[in-house]
């Protein structure tokens, strides 16, 4: 399947996960995307799945405290300025779980895009908004690059006998990782300019021919996106 | 280039101060000088990146192929000029090798039907056509360097700018690359500016030498006159002097690796039944081609990795200097960076900075240093830990000849305090300081000890 067709299908699945009202539909989408995601090598998919679990967990934990819904109170806490009465109802828990499931499905769609699609072909087949496509492709590389930089920093700190365990140890990494990313971005921008990026008259690679499978994926994407309104 | 002056926006001193030069088609100019002397800035000026990309105060005039760089954007110069930057990882745009090499020529407007053949030809020229279908993320440092070089060759430029292109290559690969550059210059008439710290090996391929110092030209001479100048004024640039300190006389064992095997997760074996012993007072050099497992064996010796099979025994504190000095930029001042491993001992940090020639740099931000200075800062950060086992992975990469000579003397002077494992492609350094040498062949096969 052409990456552009796969991207359309993934976008439709993510949109359906956001639009659908039934948790079973969202769960089915998330499960299908997780199944696809597991085809990527374990080392590469780990940060994406970890990120997915962490963000979904955060939504599950925070939502009951910021949403006021339902009457079946499971726990009643103190009154907190701005937030008001802290309590948790069974309806709030159900809503939080549903939102966490939605977020998981969307995050997994992104993970499949980042892990399994050929970004070079996507970029080369972009007939419009090529700059935006390039920005997205480069941003997608940020996750593995950051992971590699973090591993390198940890190794260098451990190599000097510096403790990098615990929250405090990990906190040491934030500033150098951010500044390192900025420096890397500047270096890349410089290299791209030196290689002629941005000048007029660039050659566009010939358009790739779409096969039946690609057209089928596009049709499926349209059906999923529209059908989600009734699910 | 006529009387070019340039000062970066937030700097007090000029990076280039009145530089004038002319380069003829087919000429290879070796550009050298100490770390921070202005080599990279000069290359940026020739590519038009100074002042367009970096801002700052610019004076004088640079003409490349009849184009005034003040009036022409760097992207418009691309094709006439091609630049290979110091760190190949920072210039990769695409995920696949073929798309990466094609990027520049597509931007230059080369007809679509020619692109594939130009990509294959460029990869073939650098001996990397077998990498055509590979992902960039899967390449070793040396392979990536070849791919980025192919990206510049594919443009068929009139002026090729190479900023320390051999820094990450083993001696054979470095020699092959320099031969290739010479062939390109001769066959196509491409003018080449080659910035290099390893003067001795680059001298054999260049026609002319320019030495920079504090942004100004110290000498601009034909090769043989320059060679004589180096012999008199900077002999360390031509050959590393053998240190005169006493050699190893026998000490207690501090690290022993017995028949260790290692492989990274789901990867092929990197080391197979490799053994190594490090004793106090001894400097052991570990050499071998790119990808032979040198760094992995060094990390096992330093305790950063544990073997899958075999035994690793270590005594005392071990410290490890990574190949990438960019990993030693965790703090915002040089002295704080060095103190980090010295458990806040400012005295030890000051001594380490002085030992690597960075006294006076205490308050500077590590990211403001040149690549050679960053390498020395990383070395200071490791030395300040005062380890029993010191593992140095390519400590002379990007380091200027004088700093390299100082490092050699320092390693020998402090050899008695510890066991030292020196992982390097720098065979001159091995000759100058090592008590013994171990060579790894491909896939971690131990050849000689």
**Residue B418: which pLDDT band, with cuts at 50, 70 and 90?**
very high
Interchain CB contacts (distance < 8 Å): A and B: 158
Shortest distance between the Cα of B438 and any Cα of chain A, in A, equals 22
CA distance B430 to B438: 10
- State the average pLDDT over residues B227-231: 94
CA distance B105 to B97: 14
CB nearest to A152's CB, from B94, B104, B324? B324
CB nearest to A203's CB, from B53, B106, B299? B106
Residues of A in contact with B381 (CB under 8 A): 160
Shortest distance between the Cα of B199 and any Cα of chain A, in A, equals 26
pLDDT at residue A66, as a whole number: 84
**For A105-129, what is each residue's pLDDT tens digit?**
999 999 999 999 988 888 877 777 7
% of chain B with per-residue pLDDT over 70: 96
pLDDT at residue B205, as a whole number: 93
Cβ–Cβ gap A153/B91 under 8 Å: no
CB nearest to A124's CB, from B99, B327, B378? B99
**For B105-141, what is each residue's pLDDT tens digit?**
999 999 989 999 999 999 998 888 999 999 888 787 7
Establish whether the linkage from the previous residue to B394 is cis, with ω within 30° of 0: no
Shortest distance between the Cα of B27 and any Cα of chain A, in A, equals 22
CB nearest to A187's CB, from B75, B76, B90? B90
pLDDT at residue B448, as a whole number: 46
- State the average pLDDT over residues B79-85: 93
Q: Answer with the residue of higher pLDDT: B30 or A173.
A: B30
Cβ–Cβ gap A202/B329 under 8 Å: no
DSSP string, A104-140: HHHHHHHHHHHHHS-HHHHHHH--S-HHHHHHHHHHH
**For A28-51, what is each residue's pLDDT tens digit?**
999 999 999 999 988 889 989 999
Residue B329: closest CA among chain A residues belongs to which residue? A176
- State the average pLDDT over residues B196-214: 93
Chain B window 5-24: which residues touch A at a Cβ cutoff of 8 Å? none
Residue A117: closest CA among chain B residues belongs to which residue? B95
pLDDT at residue B449, as a whole number: 43
φ, ψ (nearest 5 deg) of residue B260: -85, 140
**For B374-404, what is each residue's pLDDT tens digit?**
989 999 999 999 999 999 999 988 888 888 8
Cα torsion angle, B372, B373, B378, B379, sign:
positive
- B134–A contact, CB cutoff 8 A: no
Cβ–Cβ gap B81/A194 under 8 Å: yes
CA distance B242 to B237: 13
pLDDT at residue A58, as a whole number: 96
Q: How many residues in chain A? A: 231
CB nearest to A196's CB, from B107, B302, B304? B107
Q: How many residues in chain B? A: 449
Closest CA to B275 of B445, B415, B145, B85: B445
- A146–B contact, CB cutoff 8 A: no
- A195–B contact, CB cutoff 8 A: yes
Give which of B46, B47, B54, B74 to mutate to test A binding, by max A Cβ within 10 Å.
Answer: B74
CA distance A62 to A50: 18
Cβ–Cβ gap B112/A203 under 8 Å: yes
Closest CA to A118 of B97, B204, B195: B97
Residues of B in contact with A198 (CB under 8 A): 73, 75
Closest CA to B9 of B58, B48, B70: B58
- B320–A contact, CB cutoff 8 A: yes
Chain A window 121-140: which residues touch B at a Cβ cutoff of 8 Å? 123-124, 134, 137-138
φ, ψ (nearest 5 deg) of residue B75: -65, -30
Radius of gyration in angstroms for the set of CA atoms belonging to chain B, rounded to a whole number: 22
Cβ-based burial of B41 (10 A; exposed 0-12, middle 13-18, buried ≥19):
buried
Chain A window 71-130: which residues touch B at a Cβ cutoff of 8 Å? 118-120, 123-124
DSSP string, B408-432: HHHHHHTGGGSEEEEE-S-HHHHHH
- B266–A contact, CB cutoff 8 A: yes
Please determine, for residue B446, whether its predicted confidence score (pLDDT) is greater than 70: no
φ, ψ (nearest 5 deg) of residue B262: -155, 145
CA distance B31 to A194: 20
What is the average pLDDT score of chain A? 88
Closest CA to B96 of A99, A46, A50, A124: A124
Cβ–Cβ gap A188/B105 under 8 Å: no
- B84–A contact, CB cutoff 8 A: no
Residue A115: closest CA among chain B residues belongs to which residue? B95
Cα torsion angle, A181, A186, A191, A197, sign:
positive
**Residue B248: which pLDDT band, with cuts at 50, 70 and 90?**
low
- B229–A contact, CB cutoff 8 A: no
- B319–A contact, CB cutoff 8 A: yes
Cβ–Cβ gap A41/B321 under 8 Å: no
**For A155-170, what is each residue's pLDDT tens digit?**
999 999 888 888 887 8
What is the average pLDDT score of chain B? 90
% of chain B with per-residue pLDDT over 90: 61
φ, ψ (nearest 5 deg) of residue B319: -125, 150
Bridge partner list, B193? B29, B161
CA distance B409 to B405: 6
Shortest distance between the Cα of B302 and any Cα of chain A, in A, equals 7
pLDDT at residue B341, as a whole number: 85
Closest CA to A160 of B19, B216, B410, B381: B381
Cβ–Cβ gap A152/B115 under 8 Å: no
pLDDT at residue A56, as a whole number: 95
Please determine, for residue B445, whether its predicted confidence score (pLDDT) is greater than 90: no
CA distance B388 to B393: 16
Cβ–Cβ gap A155/B322 under 8 Å: yes
- State the average pLDDT over residues A121-148: 82
Please determine, for residue B169, whether its predicted confidence score (pLDDT) is greater than 70: yes
**For A72-102, what is each residue's pLDDT tens digit?**
888 888 888 877 778 889 999 999 999 999 9
Cβ–Cβ gap A162/B340 under 8 Å: yes
DSSP string, B156-174: --SEEEEESTTTTS-HHHH
Cβ–Cβ gap A158/B304 under 8 Å: yes
Q: What is the pTM of this model?
A: 0.84
**For B134-167, what is each residue's pLDDT tens digit?**
988 878 777 888 899 999 999 999 999 999 888 8
DSSP annotation of B135: B
**Residue B256: which pLDDT band, with cuts at 50, 70 and 90?**
very high
Shortest distance between the Cα of B96 and any Cα of chain A, in A, equals 7
Cβ–Cβ gap B74/A197 under 8 Å: no
- B137–A contact, CB cutoff 8 A: yes
Q: What token pair was written down for B359?
A: 């006294």
| CA max distance for chain B | 67
Range of lowest pLDDT (B305-314, B335-344, B387-396): B335-344
**For A58-68, what is each residue's pLDDT tens digit?**
999 999 888 88
Chain B window 162-221: which residues touch A at a Cβ cutoff of 8 Å? none
- B64–A contact, CB cutoff 8 A: no
Q: How far is CA A13 from CA A27, A113, A217, in A?
A: 11, 12, 12
% of chain A with per-residue pLDDT over 90: 42
Bridge partner list, B358? none
φ, ψ (nearest 5 deg) of residue B341: -85, -15
- B83–A contact, CB cutoff 8 A: yes
Shortest distance between the Cα of A114 and any Cα of chain B, in A, equals 12
């Amino acid at each position: 399947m052409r990456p552009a067709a796969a991207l359309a299908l993934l976008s439709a699945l993510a949109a359906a996960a956001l639009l659908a009202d039934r948790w079973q539909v969202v769960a089915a989408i998330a499960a299908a995307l997780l199944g696809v995601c597991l085809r990527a090598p374990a080392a590469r998919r780990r940060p994406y799945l970890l990120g997915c679990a962490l963000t979904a967990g955060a939504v599950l934990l925070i939502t009951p405290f910021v949403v006021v819904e339902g009457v079946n109170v499971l726990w009643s806490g103190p009154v907190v300025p701005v937030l008001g009465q802290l309590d948790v109802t069974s309806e709030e828990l159900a809503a939080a779980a549903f939102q966490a499931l939605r977020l998981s499905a969307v995050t997994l769609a992104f993970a499949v895009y980042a892990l399994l699609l050929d970004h070079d072909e996507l970029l080369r087949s972009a007939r419009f908004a090529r700059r935006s496509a390039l920005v997205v492709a480069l941003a997608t590389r940020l996750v593995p690059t950051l992971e590699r930089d973090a591993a390198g920093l940890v190794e260098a700190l451990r190599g000097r006998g510096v403790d990098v365990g615990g929250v405090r140890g990990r906190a040491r990494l934030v500033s150098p990782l951010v500044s390192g990313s900025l420096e890397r971005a500047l270096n890349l921008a410089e290299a791209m300019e030196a290689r002629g990026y941005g000048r007029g008259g660039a050659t566009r690679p010939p358009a790739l021919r779409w096969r039946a499978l690609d057209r089928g994926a596009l049709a499926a994407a349209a059906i999923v996106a529209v059908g989600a309104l009734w699910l | 280039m006529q009387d070019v002056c340039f000062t970066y926006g937030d700097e007090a001193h000029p990076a280039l101060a009145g530089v004038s030069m002319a380069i003829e088609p087919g000429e290879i100019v070796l550009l050298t000088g100490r770390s921070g002397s202005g080599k990279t800035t000069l290359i940026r000026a020739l590519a038009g990146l100074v002042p367009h990309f970096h801002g700052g105060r610019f004076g004088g005039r640079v003409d490349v192929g009849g184009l005034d760089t003040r009036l022409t954007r760097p992207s418009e110069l691309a094709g006439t000029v091609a630049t290979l930057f110091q760190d190949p990882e920072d210039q990769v745009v695409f995920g696949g090798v073929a798309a990466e090499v094609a990027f520049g020529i597509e931007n230059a407007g080369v007809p679509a039907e020619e692109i594939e053949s130009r990509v294959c030809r460029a990869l073939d020229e650098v001996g990397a056509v077998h990498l055509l279908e590979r992902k960039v993320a899967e390449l070793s440092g040396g392979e990536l360097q070849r791919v980025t070089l192919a990206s510049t060759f594919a443009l068929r430029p009139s002026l090729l700018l190479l900023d320390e292109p051999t820094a990450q290559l083993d001696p054979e690969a470095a020699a092959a690359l320099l031969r290739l550059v010479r062939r390109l210059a001769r066959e196509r008439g491409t003018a080449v500016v080659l910035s290099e710290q390893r003067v001795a090996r680059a001298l054999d391929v260049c026609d002319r030498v320019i030495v920079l110092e504090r942004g100004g030209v110290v000498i601009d001479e034909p090769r043989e006159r320059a060679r004589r100048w180096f012999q008199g004024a900077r002999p360390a640039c031509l050959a590393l002097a053998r240190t005169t300190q006493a050699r190893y006389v026998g000490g207690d064992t501090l690290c022993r690796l017995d028949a260790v095997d290692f492989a990274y997760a789901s990867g092929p074996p990197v080391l197979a039944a490799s053994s190594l012993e490090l004793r106090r007072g001894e400097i052991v050099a570990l050499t071998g081609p790119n990808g032979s497992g040198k760094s992995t064996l060094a990390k096992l010796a330093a305790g950063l990795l544990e073997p899958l099979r075999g035994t690793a025994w270590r005594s005392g504190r071990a410290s490890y200097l990574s190949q990438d000095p960019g990993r030693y930029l965790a703090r915002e001042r040089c002295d704080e960076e060095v103190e980090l491993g010295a458990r806040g001992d400012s005295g030890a940090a000051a001594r380490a900075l002085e030992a690597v020639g960075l006294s006076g740099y205490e308050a500077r931000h590590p990211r403001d240093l040149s690549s050679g200075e960053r390498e020395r800062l990383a070395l200071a950060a490791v030395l300040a830990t005062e380890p029993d086992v010191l593992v140095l992975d390519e400590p002379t990469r990007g380091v200027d000849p004088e700093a390299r000579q100082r490092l050699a003397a320092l390693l020998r002077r402090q050899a008695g305090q510890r066991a030292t494992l020196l992982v390097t492609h720098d065979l001159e350094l091995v000759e100058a300081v090592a008590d013994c040498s171990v060579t790894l062949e491909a896939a971690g096969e131990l050849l000689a000890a």
